[in-house]
Structure 1
Amino acid sequence: MKKVIYFSLLSVVIGVLLMGCGSDEVQPRAINEETDKCPVCNMSVMDNQFATQVVMEDGLSHVFDDIGCMYVWLDENPDEEIAATFVRDYNNEEWIQSEDAYYVYNMDVKTPMAYNMISFEDQASADEFIAENAGELIAADALADHDWQMNHEMMEGHGHDHEGDHGHGEMDSDSHTEEGESTH
């Protein structure tokens, strides 16, 4: 009887251990609106459909307030060991791995840092948004090559002061250099 109990217990333990082996999937962490700041623009990160996240191999997470900020950071940190990147569905705010999402670029969509890019969990939702609001469908694998420029007209409407553009690309060539230094 002791052998039966022993082997039954051993089977349960092995089963639990084997089930745990497959649960190493990287997950995004919860956003704390009171303390989380975007490492690119230093703005507070709201827990909404614009938030994005990079999870590092060591478990550290970086959260961003705009898809554009995440891609600027990725471009500026090419040697980082990244486990996964996440975006949120524009409609239901659920986390999606960035490579599985569908993206719409629309200059009229107000995103936190005016990169005007939003994400969807399925192509049908992205197509529906485009049909109702216009925009361009962009594949996930094309985002690394996207020209991540802020919509400066929209930023002026937000009342943000982004002199120097926080490394987000070129400024207006009449008054600033690429580094944001005044040319006057």
Structure 2
Amino acid sequence: MKSIKTSITILIILLFTLSACGKKEVQPVSINEETDKCEVCNMAVADNEFATQVVMENGKSYVYDDIGCMFVWFDENEDGDVAASFVRDFNTKEWIKTEEATYVYDRTVRTPMAYNVISFKNEKDAKAYMEENQGEVLTYDQLLKHDWPVNEEMKKMNMEQHQNHNHDEHDDHGHDHDEDHDGE
């Protein structure tokens, strides 16, 4: 009788040990606005609703400033060992697995690189967005086939705003940049 109890105890311990050795679920990494750059366009990645990321099997992560940049990377790296990819819910900034999100393509929504696609944790939230705005609901599979057109007019406005923001950051150094640039 004692040997049966001992065998059962050993079996239970063995089962717990084996289950602990199982593969951990991949988690998104935190965005560091000071250092993170988009893997595709090399722009700074803001810790906002547009940030996305890919985590590789080896643990390396790549971050993107726009969903479109991540999908451009997917197209260029089809044979990569991706463990998981994540997008942010447009309303809450909560990380969601890319394949579980619902998307809206809306040419009027301003995204960092003007791909105009935003993500939601569920279809209900995506449709609620469309009721107040416009656009087209897309699934992950549809997004894989999406053309990824860039809204060039919006991209130009985004770049100008980014340049003005960087210019304003440097104004604190006591230089009159207008005089420096005009050569006067």
The residue number in structure 2 matching 1:71 is: 71
User: Partner amino acid for 1:58?
Assistant: N
- Structure 2 CA distance for partners of 1:31 and 1:16, relative to 1, 3 Å: farther
- Amino acid of the structure 1 residue aligned with 2:103: Y
Over 2 Å off, 4+ runs: 9-23
1:97 is matched with 97
Q: Which runs of 5+ in 2 are unaligned?
A: 1-5, 162-184
Q: 1:99 to 1:153 in 2, by over 3 A?
A: same
Deviation at residue 159 of structure 1 after TM alignment: 3.1
Q: Deviations over 1:132-179 (max 9, x none)?
A: 101100111111110112110101222359xxxxxxxxxxxxxxxxxx
Cα deviation 1:92-147 (Å, max 9, x = unaligned):
00111000000000011111101000000011100100011011001111111101
1:88 aligns with 2:95: no
Tell me the matched-pair count. 160
* Identical-residue share of aligned pairs (%): 54
Structure-1 residue corresponding to 2:24: 24
- Determine the C-alpha separation between the residues in 1 that align with 2:130 and 2:44: 29
SS of the residue 2:24 aligns to: coil
Q: Distance in 2 between matches of 1:130 and 1:152?
A: 23
Report the equivalent of 1:180. none
TM-score by length of 1: 0.77
Which amino acid is the alignment partner of residue 90 of structure 1?
Answer: F
**Is residue 2:128 matched to residue 1:128?**
yes
Structure 1 residue ranges without an equivalent (≥5): 1-5, 162-184
For residues 62-106 of structure 1, what are the alpha-carbon distances to aligned partners after superposition, in whole Å with 9 as ceiling and x for unaligned?
Answer: 000000000001101111111111101000001110000000000
2:39 matched to 1:45?
no
Distance 1:102 1:59, change over 3 A: same
Q: TM-score, normalised by structure 2?
A: 0.77
Map of 1:174 onto structure 2:
none
RMSD value over aligned CA atoms?
A: 2.4
